[in-house]
A and B are shown apart, each in its own frame.
Chain A
Amino acid sequence: MRNVANFSELQAFIADYYRGQRVTVKPYAYTMPVQTALLASGASEQNTLSILSNADFICTQLVISATEDSGTQWGWASLQLTDTASQENWFWNPAIVQDVCTNANMGAASQRDQRPGPTMTVPRVISANSSLVSTFGNNVSVGLTFTASLTLVGVNVFPLR
């Protein structure tokens, strides 16, 4: 998990958000598939992630990972995340993957290891028991032949009664 959200700043963020409420915080990461099979040009694939019912999740970083080599195609894939309850989108338009995700291991073999990428400016709170739908789109003229997963890095916040 990359040290994007500074620990002390994240502490302050959580203290402000849960003002006066006692909470327990633990590091956590959700991983979901975003592309499970060949994706034709212009096509998109949707997958759903369920958030634990007993803890809010505060996301500090998105990391995209691929299981197959894909040359330079992957960077042009698009990503949208939608809260199924509120229908709120994370991005106004589907975002280009390489613009919003750290790219964990996509691309040619020589570039496969971790590469730094864009980071979230502020953490995003996802309420307990929420569902997120990912929409992964192919913007290039050829089919995307790799499979990919998205990891949401952050912390679980357990309210104490």
Chain B
Amino acid sequence: MIYNQYSVSHIRAYLAQIYGAASLVLNDQSFAANFGTMTADVPESLPVQIPANSDFLLLEIAVATTELLLSKSKIQISDSTSGETFFNVATPVSAVCTIESTLSQLPWPRFVQGNTTLYVTLTPDATTTSPVIVSLLGVGIRKG
């Protein structure tokens, strides 16, 4: 069993600091960026659009692929509106992402407002022959 450090009560309490007493509809949510096959050392960026009608609480970044070498690849995520980046530089996937069955959650939730575009940039360390998919996992939030 994989330990999940974010209980429902933690999330509800955290969101209460943002939304106050507003009634909220919460759902498990996942946004995926499918990079397809990739070429070694060639960075590629894909947009992830957060819909306008809901905010998103990011709890985990996961990378799915069958490529053995992918853990040595690097990732960066940026907010196109604010220009804010998630890491100071492109960071090893294996240091900040869930890979295969090794759970790797954020130490703190990242609140992303609705209608935000995040850009996921992945630089593989080797050419891949199978698709590489980066998933942003967390909670979708709509006011009830």
Q: Which residues of chain A have a CB within 8 Å of any CB of chain B?
A: 1-8, 10, 25-31, 49, 52, 60-61, 63, 65-67, 102, 104-105, 109, 112-114, 149, 151, 153-155
Contacts and interface: CB of A to CB of B under 8 A. Distances in A.
A105 B63 CA distance: 15
Name the residue among B96, B99, B109 with the largest chain A CB count within 10 angstroms: B96
Name the residue among A8, A30, A102 with the largest chain B CB count within 10 angstroms: A8
Contacts of B89: 31
B37 to A, nearest CB: 20
Interface residues of B, number: 30
B128 interface: no
Contacts, number: 104
Contacts of B99: 113-114
A103 B3 CA distance: 20
Given A29-B87, A29-B88, A105-B92, A7 B72 contact: no
A28 B95 CA distance: 12
A27 B102 contact: no
B107 A27 contact: yes
A67 B72 contact: yes
Given A60-B107, A114-B104, A153-B107, A29 B5 contact: no
Given A27-B86, A29-B88, A151-B95, A114 B109 contact: no
Interface of B: 3, 5-6, 10, 68-69, 71-72, 86-92, 94-96, 99-100, 102-110, 125
B46 to A, nearest CB: 20
Contacts of A2: 104-105
Contacts of B110: 26-27
Given A3-B103, A3-B104, A3-B105, A30 B87 contact: yes
Nearest to A150: B95
Contacts of B3: 3
A113 B102 contact: yes
21 contacts: A1-B105, A2-B105, A3-B105, A4-B107, A7-B109, A27-B108, A30-B88, A60-B107, A63-B92, A63-B96, A65-B72, A65-B92, A67-B72, A67-B125, A102-B95, A105-B71, A112-B68, A113-B68, A149-B92, A153-B96, A153-B107
A114 B94 contact: yes
Contact of B95 (A25, A26, A63, A67): A63
Nearest to A115: B102
Given A31-B88, A109-B68, A149-B92, 16 more contacts: A2-B105, A3-B107, A7-B6, A7-B108, A27-B108, A27-B109, A31-B92, A49-B88, A52-B88, A65-B92, A65-B95, A67-B72, A104-B92, A104-B94, A113-B68, A151-B96
